[in-house]
Structure 1
Amino acid sequence: MKRFNITYLEIFKDGKNVATYYDSILDGNSNDSNYGTSNRNIKPEVFHKIIEDLVLPKVILLDGNKVTKVASVLIDDYDCFYTTSINTNEILVCFTKVDTPKILPLRILSDLKQDEYKKNDSNIELRVHIGEILDKFHEELLTFKKQQQDPSLPNSMGDQTEGDIQDVIQIMSDNIDKFLQRQERVSLLLDKTSKLNNNSSGFKRKAARINDRLWWQRMKNTTLLIFSIILITSALFIFYYVL
């Protein structure tokens, strides 16, 4: 059975890179490092540059174990996913080939935030943890395949082929992809709503300050008017009754 892998994963903490994973196996025979062409190996420097320029500025910090897929195509033939951890102020960004099961980057990004994999302060630690997660994922696929091929099981598909397994994985990936697209739209909507609420709160504060200034201005004008009336009245009184 084909062994799946992710291409690139980078962890940022407080805006700084703390660990990087890169699958160095060539995707093709070309050594072209310029993104925009298919069937080639992308250098890690390109992934890092794209993440810094195009992904991190748009990341929406969310608590929990939520994974978001970037809707726009940043590199041809690659999908980009990210997740965040508010408690540790970490951002995890992952790139995978488009034919990689969508459950795999979700699984890796989610598991890396669990206690058993939480310490990823070096490239070696990150590579070991990702390797363990990939091993578990591959074992689960093999177990699933064996179960489907076991004639003693009631739901067995004795003649299950590798292609049929791939079809199941593809259907699952398509469903996850649709869910992630809907999830990203919801996240963007929540972010816009939050910004509108912040703008509304800022407008209210400005309006309150303007009202305070206007109130003080009215009080100042009223006080000056009263003093003017008193002075005029005093002057008239002195003019008519004293002089």
Structure 2
Amino acid sequence: MTIVYALIARGKAVLAEFTATAGNFPTVTRVLLNKIPTEATRMSYVWDAHVFHYIVENGVTYLCMADEQSRRRVPFAFLEDIKTKFGAQYGASIHTAPAFSMNAEFAPILQRQMDAFNSNPPGDSLQGVRSQIEDVRAGMLENVDKVLERGEKIELLVDKTDQLNQQAFRFDRASRSLRRTMYWRKVKTGVAAAGVAVILMFAAGATACGGVTFSHCRS
């Protein structure tokens, strides 16, 4: 499961966003922001091999894009997490702040949480949205073409190379960790075997030399 893009907007005014890979996500999301209702809701839009998930609360849209194979529980848990952090950090100023005024401060938080949920989503966050997401029906998952009018369709461009590089990096990191674990396991096994060999040699020598004092051998 990979979340590659996140955005927070008040109406059409984008307050903060972050993308983990190259693509035209900002262009696509600007079109979607014109179609997303302002009343509280949560929904998912399919666009090619990706899905845009969003939550609207108090006129603020929290949106992310993930690959189509992703289960919705993780993206929505991510959105709930950044919604809580964004509200706690900015409070009422969210409703008056100029566009991108929070981007410098909050984009790194979006990146950090995106990395966290992509690699190891917190269990408590998933549990917190489980009951909300398990009841999501097909009506809440629409093809984005249905909300766009003629002439508005934009091809979603995703840099597959960046995505493959990210996946390769995660695989390489896991491989290095596994190699380190196997190396230290071999070291511990070798040390234990050497210890046993020393003990056996000592016992054999003591037996042949008349006990632990090696009295027969010294004489």
Task: State the TM-score, normalized to the length of structure 2.
Answer: 0.46
Q: Which has the larger radius of gyration?
A: 1
Greater relative CO, 1 or 2 (CA 8 Å, sep 6+): 2
If each structure's strand is expressed as a fraction of its own residues, which one has the higher value? 2
